[in-house]
């Protein structure tokens, strides 16, 4: 199984108010996945490497296409900050939206070579909706439509929890919710 893991940035302020960038929180989720799934071929794309590139998302897309361009992708894991409209992959903070090449949203193409029964799993807050409700115009549905593969997403906030076997991103509601390509999700009133 060919797996790609996209690891987003995490930021904190130190005791002097300076923002420090690291990815350990999200990387730990991926390390646990690797430990739980031995034998799967896993390529990690860490935002810390791409954050200083002139075009981080374009560079990521190019590198992802090269890794499994011949064999195809079975699973893409995203572990990072998000909301219902975007994945904050290399944004320094969740509110830094000035440069569209620092986050993944509905405008990004997902034209990679996917294998039959491929999936995309989004381990980020509210990628499929909020308060346990599936949203029709969310980033998860957009990715499902553009990629042509099933997307698993959270419909609530989530937090990392340390368990006996490692670190897991746990949502407030429902676990993962499935989004299929061209699915019609009713508007919530």
pLDDT at 143: 96
For residues 155-184, give the mean pLDDT. Answer: 89
The more confidently predicted of residues 43 and 100 is 43
pLDDT at 189: 45
pLDDT at 52: 82
Indicate the domain borders of the chain.
8-170
CB atoms within 10 A of CB 180: 12
Q: Please tell me whether residue 7 adopts helix, strand or coil conformation.
A: strand
Query: For residue 150, what is the DSSP state?
Result: E
Q: Hey, what are 88's tokens?
A: 């904050």
Cα separation, 164 vs 91, in Å, equals 31
pLDDT tens profile 120-160: 999 999 999 998 889 888 999 999 999 999 999 999 999 89
Residue 101 has pLDDT above 80, yes or no: no
Residue 173 has pLDDT above 60, yes or no: yes
Burial class (CB in 10 A: 0-12, 13-18, 19+), 95: exposed
């Amino acid at each position: 199984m060919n797996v790609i893991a996209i690891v987003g940035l995490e930021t904190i302020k130190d005791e002097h108010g300076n923002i420090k960038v690291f990815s350990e929180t999200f990387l730990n989720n991926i390390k646990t996945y690797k430990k739980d799934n031995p034998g799967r071929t896993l390529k990690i794309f860490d935002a810390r490497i791409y954050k200083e590139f002139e075009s981080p998302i374009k560079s990521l897309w190019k590198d992802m296409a090269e890794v499994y361009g011949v064999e195809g992708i079975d699973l893409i894991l995203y572990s990072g900050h998000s909301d219902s409209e975007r994945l904050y992959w290399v944004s320094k903070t969740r509110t830094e939206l000035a440069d569209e090449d620092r986050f993944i949203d509905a405008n990004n193409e997902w034209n990679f070579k996917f294998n039959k029964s491929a999936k995309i799993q989004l381990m980020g807050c509210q990628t499929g909706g909020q308060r346990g409700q599936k949203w029709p115009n969310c980033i998860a549905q957009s990715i499902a439509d553009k990629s042509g593969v099933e997307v698993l997403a959270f419909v609530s906030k989530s937090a990392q929890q340390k368990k006996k076997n490692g670190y897991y991103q746990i949502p407030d509601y429902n676990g993962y919710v499935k989004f299929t390509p061209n699915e019609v999700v009713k508007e919530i009133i």
